[in-house]
Every structure is written in C-alpha cells, then in structure tokens.
Chain A
Amino acid sequence: MERLTAEEFGYLTAGVVNQVTHFGAWLRTYGFQTGISETLTAMAAMTQLDIERMDQVCCAFRSIYSRTPAQWHMFPRLFERYFLHKEPRLEQRHRLQPEEGGGSDIVRREHAPWMQTVQGTLAGRHPEDGERYALRADGQVLQDVLQVTRSAVRALVAPPSRRAWMRGNERIDMRRTIRLAMRRAGEPMTLQWRTRRPDKPRVLLILDISGSMKPYAPFFTALAWSFTRVRVRTQIFLFSTRLLRVTALVSRHAVNGIPYDHLPGLKGGTRIGTALKELMDRHGGLLNRHTCVIIASDGFDAEPPLQLHSAMRDLAARVGRVVWINPLLAEPDYQPTASGMSAALPYVDAFVDVHDVASWRKAVSSGALHAPSNGDVHAAATGAVPAASTGALQAAGP
C-alpha cells in the first residue's frame, strides 16, 4: 500500500486524501473510534500546518484521533508505523524486582505450596514468583467490574422512600416556596418543605494484600479501581501488618501496576485488628453511620483474636454497615473457623464470597452493600448474609 511521505504532500492531493482516509480506518483496528468527522478535521488541520513537518502533523493528528490517555500514548508509534514505515521494536526486557523480605527464587520454589483455589490449581508456583507489581488490575475484567460496581453504587445512593422523608414535623421552606411561586405569577402552587440534605454514602474498601490473598489481587485491584471511577465517596486502604491509604494511587496506577516499593511499610503477615484500629485512630473522620466498610480478606490473622474482636466491635458501632468479602467462601470445604474470622463475624452485616466478576455481580444483586433499612430485614429477604444476627453463613458465589 502506498504510504504518505512529506514530499507527496505538496503534489499528490488525492494521494494525501486517500492516505488520511485510510489512516482513520486503519486506526479503528487499534480501538480508535474514528469516523468521517475526524478525517475531515485532520484534512482541515493539514491546511493549517506546515506539512513538511511530520512531527507537527503527528501532533495535530494525535489531538484529533486520540480520546483517552491510553490512545494518546499509543498514537505516535502508530503514526510512525503508518506514515514513516517504522515497524514496532521489541521492548527491552526488564529485570524483575526482588520481592520484599528477600530470599532467592530457589528457596522460594522449595517452599512453593500447592494452592487450590476457585480459579484453578496453582501447583508449584509461589504467588510471589516473577511479579513486579504489588497490585495490578486484571485488564480483562475492568469494564465488567466497573459495570457491576456502578449498579452497586446506584443502589447505595438511591434516595430513601417517601415515608422516610415525611415524618409529620416538617416546616415549610418559605424562601424556596416564594422563589418557586415567582415562576407561576406569585401563586404558591407547590409548597417546598424544609428537608435535611441527605448525607452522601461513603465506601471504605479495605484490602488485605498478605501473601494468602495474592491469587485474588488482580481482581480486587480491578474492584478497587472501579470504585474510583464511580460517583461515590470512596477511600481505599491496603493492609497486611499496617494500614496504608492508596485511593489516589489506585486511581492513577492500578491498571499499569503499582510496584512494591511504592507501598512502604507493608510487610509479610496479617494484622487485621491493628489495621482496623489504625483506621479508627487516624481516619476516624471517615467513619459515620453513612459509611459502608468493605473488608476483603480471607480472615487469616496473626494476632490474638481478642484484638480483632475489639476492633470489629468498635468499627461496627461507628459505621452504618460492615461487609466482609472472603474469596475462600466459594471453596467447597471452607468453613470460617479461623480464629480471626470467628472473632469478626458477630460484627459483620454481610459475609459474602467475591472472587471474580460473577460472584461480585451476585453479591451486588443480593443487596449485600445496601444500608440496612429496618434491622437486617433486607438481608433476610434477599439471601445476603446477616452474619451478625443469625450467625449463618452463606456464599453469594456458586
């Protein structure tokens, strides 16, 4: 196929048109949503630019065809490939970063456990082998997770029923009533009532990133990322031996990956109680009755159960809802009998299995995230797990 060169610009107008038209179509194969309007804009841009300067043309085309940061960063290579015949080069291989805690690969392989998870057998593979990133969202499921999270948040922020508003002691808001009456020639046709502005819900997502949760890290990172892309006040925390707030980090880097050295102080082991206490001490302002705390952990805790018990008791008293998502719930023979899990369960409003998109969808549709309206009646009605009241456990997953 004929390609555009700087010399041809001046002489082959039809050739230029042809090339630019085909360029738009070619970009579509790389996920760009280009149409006639982009092609026309590109033509118009060329009339305004020095077409001998391919860097300027590239710059102009980049602003016309790109619509997302990903496309923005990918575009120059595609432009070069199409117009300047530059084929993509192989990227230099990066040396894998050593994991925290030291130890050689050989030692690790000797201790490599057989791990059976709901996602398949990870035989002979240590979860830390060959990974550069502590957190990296599973790119395949991002959009699906985002869609489910959107519906979860919609339910979370849905206004309460009319009955909840009208309690019989309302007063007329004269200012708003008169202001509205102005539109109707001063006749107060509709009375405006003084209402309290509804408090917006807040979601705290607390992710366990200890070694035992490694197989699920890509999905939970995608889940955390999805909460940063929806309209709800979200804060994301990581914990293993301590607590770390990473909302902005996840929002910016979860898709590309967050390396270990960007998460200081998170060492091996799990201290859930200490992490929750740190949450209450340092971020107490985030905790109120409109807060929904979602803890994603398998419940394996290195501390005395009393620590977690008291932390959970205090946390449950301060927030509206505590949801514990445990990926192990879907395991056929799993029982939450670990000391940490048993200590936490009495204070958990919903205990659900979430380990992939399907189970996340199921948990959302079961109403696990909704704030309880009257006691835990909704949970009883929907089948989400009212762990605190009944002690019964039920997996939302298969």
Chain B
Amino acid sequence: MNGQVRQLQEALRSVHYVAEEGLATVLYLSQRLRRPLLLEGPAGVGKTALAKALAEVRSVNLIRLQCYEGLDASQALYDWDYPKQLLMARTAFTHGDVDQTALYSERFLIERPLLRALRERPAPVLLVDEVDRADEEFEAMLLEILSDFQITIPELGTFRAEEPPSVVLTSNRTRDLSDALRRRCLYFWVDYPSPEQEAAIISLHVPQMAPHLARQIARSVRRLRKLSLLKPPGLAESIDFARALCELGAQELDETVTRLTVGCLLKTQEDAALVQERGLNLIWNA
C-alpha cells in the first residue's frame, strides 16, 4: 500500500503538485473508499489545485461547481429547457399529437455540474469549491449525492453513478459546515507548507529560479505569515513573487527589488504599511 501512496505522490508531483505523505494517503483512501474529501485550510494553500492535479493525474475531466450564496438546484443539478419544450408543444399541438412524456425526456434536460459528474464516463473529478459560501439548504441537497452518488429527477427517475466521481470539497471556513456533510467526507486540514516544501514547490513552478533564491523566498514568506497579516501570502503569492523576480532578472533579493515586487506578496494597504513599519529587510534579509 505504501507503494501506491508513493506512486500517487509521484504522479501528483509530475503535474506540479507537491503533496505531503499525509495528504497523499488521505487522497488515496478517498479514491479507494469512494468517499468525498473535504479540504479546509487558509486561502492559497492549494486546496483547489489538488482537485485540478488529481484530474490531470487520472486524465479525466474536472467538473467544477463554484458555490455562492443563493446557489440552487436548478443551477447545480439540472434544469429543463423550457423554450424548447414550449416550441415542441406548440408544433405538436398544431399537428394534434402532443406527447407529454416526450416533453420531459433527455432531449430537454439541461445537465448542470452535479448531474454531469454522475453521468460522465470515465468518472470525472468533481470539485465543489468553497462549499461554505453556499446556503445550508444547498448543503443539505448535497447529502444525497455525496453518500449515494445519485440524483432523483421526478419526471425521469433516479440517476445513479455507475462509476462514482472523485469528489473534492473545499471550504475556507467562512461558516461552519453541518455535521451531516462532514461525516460523509474524509477530512484534511491543509496547512501552509514547510519552508523546504515551499522552496520545492517554487522550484517546480519556476524552474529557472536558482535554488538558493527559492529557499530565501520560502523563508521570507514564512516570516510574513508569522506577522498575522490580514491577508497572509499563500503559495500562489510565493510563486507570483518568484516569477516576478525572474521576469525582472533578479539574481538575489535586495531592498530595491523587494520594494518593487512586494505587491506580489501583500494585498492590502494595512499589511503593506505593517511590513514597511517593520522594515523590508524582513523579506529580503530572510
């Protein structure tokens, strides 16, 4: 079993995703046990990226459902193509042969992401992104899908996935998710990576960067995270910062380069002011 976890780790690495052993193990288990994986953690640590990487590793489609307040069944599950149905009904009426069952057939069914994920072959990766932003009613609606991988359409019957999709849910904890949802999932708290891991990730994404510079960026970003900024820099910010340095042809971090590129790391005025106050050497002298 170790071998398979390691293989998965390697495969993820080949698509530029560095997963620690714990995450790889849980991901492996979620595939084997066919359980959805709920990822929580600070913004920008690679929760969404994991689903994308998994889809790439498995060479299947990624179906993404971005949650937001007010998301409902007709946008997430399925809807009927009413204009087409009306046209069909009127045409049939003039010929005098209205077939009601034909109006509610596959022909007029609009698949939304969840239904599409259940019906698509090979089974895709379904990413339910930022599920905490959706309403509680929507969360309750997800339960049937997550536990039985089926959707009931009253006019057509129940659709059950022949091959269940790999489901990844992410949450930024803007509100607490229900226990019912949590107990259907495997849970993983994705934290910021260690400086070594982060340097490896930066090197993977920006291969032209010198290793010592990648390590320096990882250390400086770690320092910034310890400051409890309003928006601590995530991995995406580290990679952006590294790319910016490469674009500017910087061979090493110094005060001038840091001042010019600090906007890649700090995204609010308050954070910028705080770091200026503490001194930019916090970043370039790490």
Please indicate which of the listed interface residues A35, A179, A230, A264 has the most CB atoms of chain B within 10 Å of its own CB.
Answer: A264
Any A CB within 8 A of the CB of B210: no
* A63 touching B188, Cβ below 8 Å: yes
Q: Is the CB of B28 within 8 A of A48?
A: yes
Chain B hits for A186, CB < 8 A: 86, 89-90
Looking at B5, B40, B82, B227, the one whose CB has the most chain A CB atoms below 10 A away is B82
Query: Quick check: is B85 within 8 A (CB to CB) of the other chain?
Result: yes
Cβ-based interface call for B249 (8 A): no
Q: Is the CB of A44 within 8 A of B33?
A: yes
Contact B186 A249 (CB under 8 A): no
A69 contact from B28, B32, B40, Cβ within 8 A? B40
Closest residue of chain B to A52 (Cβ to Cβ) is B2
The secondary structure that dominates the B interface is: helix
- Given contacts A41-B35, A63-B29, A249-B230, A49 and B1 within 8 Å (CB-CB): yes
Report if A56-B85 is in contact (Cβ < 8 Å); known contacts: A229-B175, A249-B230, A258-B228: no
- Is the CB–CB distance between A262 and B227 below 8 Å? yes
Residues 231-244 of chain B, each 1 if its beta carbon lies under 8 Å from chain A, else 0? 10000000000000
How far, in Å, is B113 (CB) from chain A's closest CB? 21
Query: What's the least CB distance linking A351 to chain B, in Å?
Result: 30
> For residue A253, which residue of chain B has the nearest CB?
B228
The interface stretch among B18-26, B138-146, B201-209, B250-258 is: B18-26
B187 engages A72 (CB within 8 Å)? yes
**Are A45 and B33 within 8 A (Cβ)?**
yes
Q: Of the candidates A55, A60, A73, A230, which one forms a contact with B26 in the assembled complex, judged by CB atoms under 8 Å apart?
A: A60
Main secondary structure of the interface of A (DSSP, over half): helix
Interface string of B1-22 (1 = CB under 8 A from A): 1100100000000000000011
A382 to B270, CA, bound (A): 40
Q: Is the CB of A48 within 8 A of B1?
A: yes
Q: Is B182 an interface residue (CB 8 A)?
A: yes
Shortest A76–chain B CB gap in Å is 10
Shortest distance in angstroms between B83's beta carbon and chain A's nearest beta carbon? 6
Contact-residue bracket for chain B: 35 or more
Check B176 for interface membership: any CB of A closer than 8 A: yes
Which chain B residues in 253-275 approach chain A with CB under 8 Å? 270, 274
Shortest CB distance B223–A (Å): 13
Nearest chain A CB to B37's CB is how many angstroms away? 8
B137 within 8 A of A: no
**A38 an interface residue at 8 Å Cβ cutoff?**
yes
Are A185 and B86 in contact, CB atoms less than 8 angstroms apart? yes
A183 within 8 A of B: yes
Minimal Cβ-Cβ distance residue in A for B26: A63
The reply to whether A48 and B228 contact each other, CB–CB distance below 8 Å, is no
For B85-98 the 0/1 string (1 means CB < 8 A from A) is 11001100000000
Contact B5 A56 (CB under 8 A): yes
In the complex, A248 has a CB within 8 A of chain B: yes
Contacts of B196 in A (CB 8 A): none
Question: B176 contacts which chain A residues (CB < 8 A)?
Answer: 68, 229
Contact at B35–A56, with CB atoms within 8 Å?
A: no
Bound complex: CA A56 to CA B4 (Å): 13
In the complex, A182 has a CB within 8 A of chain B = yes
8 new A-B pairs (CB below 8 Å) besides A60-B26, A60-B29?
A63-B187, A67-B183, A182-B85, A186-B86, A229-B175, A252-B228, A262-B228, A264-B278
Binding site for B on A (CB under 8 A): 33, 35, 37-38, 41, 44-45, 48-50, 53, 55-56, 59-60, 62-64, 66-69, 72-73, 179, 182-183, 185-186, 229-231, 244-249, 252-253, 258, 262, 264-265
In the complex, 27 of the A-B residue pairs with CB atoms within 8 angstroms, ordered by the A residue number, are: A33-B179, A35-B183, A41-B35, A41-B186, A45-B29, A48-B29, A49-B29, A53-B2, A55-B21, A56-B25, A60-B26, A64-B187, A68-B176, A69-B173, A72-B187, A179-B82, A182-B82, A182-B83, A182-B86, A183-B80, A183-B82, A229-B175, A231-B69, A248-B230, A249-B230, A252-B228, A265-B277
